[in-house]
Each structure stands twice: as structure tokens, then as C-alpha cells.
Amino acid sequence: MNRFIDVKPSKCIGCRTCEIACVLAHAELGAALSMQPNDRQSGDVLASLGQMPRLKVIKGEDVCMPVTCHHCDDAPCAGACPTGAISFVQDTVQVNEARCIGCKSCMIACPYGMIDVVAVAAVRPFAGVRLSMGTKAQAHKCDLCIDRAGGPACVAACPTHALLVAEPEKIYNGMQLRQREAVREALANEANS
């Protein structure tokens, strides 16, 4: 079983802090840090980073909650990718950005609509220098901040603890606990009948 972000909608207040944390965790911080101090309004900084969050806060009439990649065990996006750019790495589903051709097959295959295809800078190394080749399309999805020491930035930043990383062991332990509780309740109901 793959890890994924478990969301508790009853705790979400729709503040979008998770989206900001996601953008900051994946951004080239040099762009934001090079801005003059007077220009560092929060919206300007995020716009200068040129990133989109890899999760989306969805707001309805009675509920709001972040929605993100489920890192499916039998990921339809991976099966749909013609170049093999989407694969399983450390109990997660990851996009190899260098192999992605931006065909949108993964976006169409995702049952949760959690893969976007975005325009990114196309660069090519040449004689030790990175040359800009314009832009290219590339798959963009939650990577569970796999390279971040503290784990997913959205989980760490959520002020109400509405997000947590669902680890396979914790999921199985929770299932066993619920099963035992169901058996106890059934036995108690039978004894009372």
C-alpha cells in the first residue's frame, strides 16, 4: 500500500495554508529572495515563484477540504503514460519530469482529477551552461515532498491538523482496531437482545 495524504474535512477551515506551503516547498526560492524588500508582498512573492500548488482546496456550501493525489496502488496515470515517466518510488507515485512529454494521458486517466499539465521552462545543458529552450508541457502532481526531510509541507503547515500522512502500518492498525470495536459492539448488541 502506498502512502498518501489523509484529509479530515471536519477540521479544515479553508485557509489555503496548505497550498501556500506546497508552492513554497517546490519553488525556486532564489526568485523570491532576490526581490527587493519593499516588493515582498505575499501575493507578489508567490506569483514570482511561478508555481501552482500540487493540491487544491475545494470549497462547497457545507464543507471545504484539500484534495490531492491519492498515490493509488494501481495508479491509472502510470499505466496511461506512454514514456514511463510516472512510476512507483518509496511507496509513492512520482513523475520523472525529464521523461514527461506533456501528452496529458495521465491527466485524463486520473480518476480524482489531481494531475495538471503545466508549462515549465525547457532548459538544455550545453558546454556547462544551461540554455533556455522556451517552455514545455509537463505533468504536475503531489509528490508527497519526497525529498523534503520534514515530510509533506502541507501537513506540517496545516494550523488545524486536518492533514496527515497515511502510512500503510497506521492504516492497517486502524482497520484492526475498527474491526475489534465492531465485533465488541456486535457481541454487546447480541447479549442485550
Using CA atoms, how far residue 21 sits from 18, 64, 136, 158, in Å, is: 5, 18, 25, 9
The pLDDT assigned to 42 comes to 47
Which residues in the chain show pLDDT less than 70?
28-50
The pLDDT assigned to 140 comes to 92
The pLDDT assigned to 125 comes to 84
Residue 190 within any structural domain of the chain = no
Per the structure, the count of domains in the chain is: 2
Question: Does one domain contain both 63 and 152?
Answer: yes
The pLDDT assigned to 131 comes to 86
pLDDT tens-digit profile of 39-91? Answer: 444 445 555 556 789 999 999 888 899 999 999 999 999 999 999 999 999 98
Question: Does one domain contain both 122 and 156?
Answer: no
Residue 183 within any structural domain of the chain = no
- Phi, psi (rounded to 5 degrees) for 192: -80, -10
Residue 156's identity, in one-letter code, is: A
Residue 134 within any structural domain of the chain = yes
Residue 27 within any structural domain of the chain = yes
The pLDDT assigned to 27 comes to 82
The pLDDT assigned to 141 comes to 95
Q: With contact defined as beta carbons under 8 Å apart, do 55 and 67 qualify? A: yes
pTM of the model: 0.76
Residue ranges making up the domain that contains 115: 70-141
